[in-house]
Amino acid sequence: MIIVRPIRSSDYEVLHQIAVESGHGFTSLPVNEELLTNRINRATHSFHSTPLQAGNEGYLFVMENTETGEVVGTSGIEAAVGLDDAFYHYHLGKVVHSSRELNIYNNVDILSLNNDYTGATEICTLFLKAPYRVNNNGRFLSKFRFLFMAEHPERFNNTVIAEMRGVSDANGRSPFWQWLEEHFFSMDFPTADYLSGIGNKAFIAELMPKYPIYVSLLSKQAQEVIGKVHDKTVPALRLLESEGFVNRGYVDIFDAGPTVEAELNSIKTVRNSRRLKVKFGSVKNTRKYIICNTQVAEFRAVQMPIDIDEEQDIAIIDRKAADAILVSEGDWVRVSQN
């Protein structure tokens, strides 16, 4: 059975493997033993904390095949970004250069450096091993986070964002960064991405151009990738768009990939999720639901068919599913269609 659970210290080796497999542009998992260990320790502390509001907590989950014990994917939530380190974006806006006397009007795109998403909750670190990208596992690995957030809203902020990986090639070359590198940074994209991932962000403030950048001054290749996602990221973007996430012009400062946002209570899965009581029984329905318990440190989620008694707000599930998510008859679960 495929389940999602909080990460453990014993998951370090597979997390390191995922960091390597994910490649360039996956900033939230740098290939660095100390930082990966710290990420696991921080997640463990967060799962055992009881915050009254969003703070520096970082929740990291793994997807596990319980039949083999293999960890096959990871998915995370940052409760509030930018509280310790500045959280940078470019915003794609416009300025108008006009002269009534000369009858000239030019509408010009600009990129402005900002910290507008400071304090927002971020969903991040989504990666699933290739053999398991079947049976809606990818959707499950993304969407279960919304059930966790719906069940524990006090831990998160109302604005939820997701940074989507921008365009880069197999060697980590980003057309957008190549222009910045040439004119301001003198370091390649993988190096800049790695430094940011390990928390060394001072160079951004020190070297990034302080004034708005006129998009027309960028190389043609750089202009073409602004707001575009990596080919492998297209399905993730489509899923978030179906949940109600939108791009309001914010892009990553390294690869110009879009950042999308939604209000927590307006996210489709959050809005449509239901809290139901567990009853054991034979399930006749074949439609799969995402089902999770209401715990934090012992959180579990699974996708499988259940029957719902609409009149009594009861989820009828089999004992195998109940055991997988650590619930007994009479316990509460939160459910949503996958």
List active site positions: 230
Phi-psi region of 130 (alpha: psi -120 to 50; beta: other; left: phi over 0): alpha
- Tokens representing 210 are 């302080």
> What's the Cα-to-Cα distance from 336 to each of 144, 290, 301, rounded to whole Å?
9, 5, 11
Alpha helices in 154-188, H assignment, sequence order: 175-180
The pairing of beta strand 70-78 with beta strand 58-65:
antiparallel
CA 256 to each of CA 108, 162, 212, 225: distance values in angstroms, whole numbers, following the listed order: 18, 13, 15, 7
CA distances (Å), origin 151, targets 44, 146, 276, 334: 19, 8, 12, 7
Residue written as token pair 């879009």: 258
For residues 143 and 125, give the distance between their C-alpha atoms in angstroms, rounded to a whole number: 13
User: Is 184 in contact with 281 (CB distance < 8 Å)?
Assistant: no
Angstrom distance (rounded) from CA 250 to CA 159: 14
CA dist 310 and 1 (Å) reads: 27
**H/E run at residue 205:** helix 202-207
Tell me how far apart the alpha carbons of residues 61 and 4 are, in angstroms, rounded to a whole number. Answer: 7
Q: Is 231 exposed, middle or buried (0-12, 13-18, 19+ CB in 10 A)?
A: exposed
Closest-CA residue to 114 (of 210, 179, 23): 210
